[in-house]
Copies of this chain bind each other. A is one copy, B any other.
Amino acid sequence: MSRRNRFIKACRGQDVDRTPIWLMRQAGRYLQEYRDVRQFHSFLEMCKKPELAVEITLQPVRRFELDAAIIFSDILLPLECMGIGLEFTDGGGPVLRNPLRTARDVERMGELDPEKDLGYVLKALEMTRNELNGTVPLIGFAGAPFTLASYAIEGGGSRNYVETKSMIYAEPASFHRLMEKLTNMVIAYLNAQIRHGAQAVQVFDSWVGCLSANDYKAFVLPHMKKLFASVDPKVPRIHFALGASHMLKLVGSAGADVNSVDWRTPLDEAWKQAGLKKAIQGNLDPALLFGPKEHLVEAARDILKRAANRNGHIFNLGHGIYPGTPVDNVALLIEAVHSGSKRR
């Protein structure tokens, strides 16, 4: 077995020769070769020009023994197509110029035709598959409806999500309508990615941890269930919810094939709560990549020990790689995971 099929097999809970590993935001600012491209192109340009997206997607796969590639893109691109506007400010994060606040705003939000509106992502997937030529599988992705809704309502990142929660509580029908529209969009977008070459898809619910378990159950879970019931099951569907330790069981009930967890709850405990029948992905704190090496390796081994070579574990971080991460520590982590999880 090799990098060719380890990741997909683990997603399916099948036998593997060692635990596969890929890293959220593995193509990013911590890599010199990424910064070399970034120097001459805006972030949005890098997302929108397939040849650039392909190059960046391949950078970490060339450099490291990763078991999967993930297409370089951004979860907010669909919102731009839906008329909410999108800019990336220097260091300040994304800004959405036309935030949604009222029922009318929600109704006015455009629809997305992935083939037409995000053809550049689909093209990049096709080209990357071609370049990868079967060496490692290619992952597509989308933002989860709640996380996209929070960006669309707040107009950017947020600390307390007061506008989002205000819509949830004051205008529950509008919020559900927004979630419905976004869910339909994500389903169509992910299925298009699968048609164009994605061999697995991940849904990023980065900000859903701001909700209570009860609000998650009432306002998010039904949409996530519909989402996972509607995305083509011929590829593994991965569900990542950050900061969701208080509702892992609910998150696990949404219907994904793989639950991806952050670093807060120990892996064995998180796996039990999210469901042992599903595969699990995670859960190293990305801050550990800043060193020291012995501590990083020790923490990786602890996760492997908790996974106990049980089928269905994909090693990953609990959040995307932070800028400034030392590159040699990334290589060390991958080596430690592979060498520390040999089955035969």
Residues of A within 8 A of B (CB): 160-162, 165-166, 169-170, 209, 211-215, 243, 245-247, 263-266, 285-288, 290-292, 295-296, 302, 319, 322, 324
Contact = CB atoms under 8 A, between A and B. Distances in A.
A264 B160 contact: no
Most buried by B among A160, A287, A322: A287
A169 B292 contact: yes
Secondary structure of the A side of the interface?
helix
Given A170-B292, A246-B246, A292-B170, A161 B265 contact: no
A169 B322 contact: no
A213 to B, nearest CB: 6
Contact of A243 (B243, B263, B324): B243
A101 to B, nearest CB: 13
Contacts of A215: 285
A166 B325 CA distance: 11
Contact of A213 (B246, B264, B291, B296): B264
A296 B168 CA distance: 12
Contact of A166 (B246, B264, B290): B290
Nearest to A287: B165
A89 to B, nearest CB: 15
A265 B243 CA distance: 12
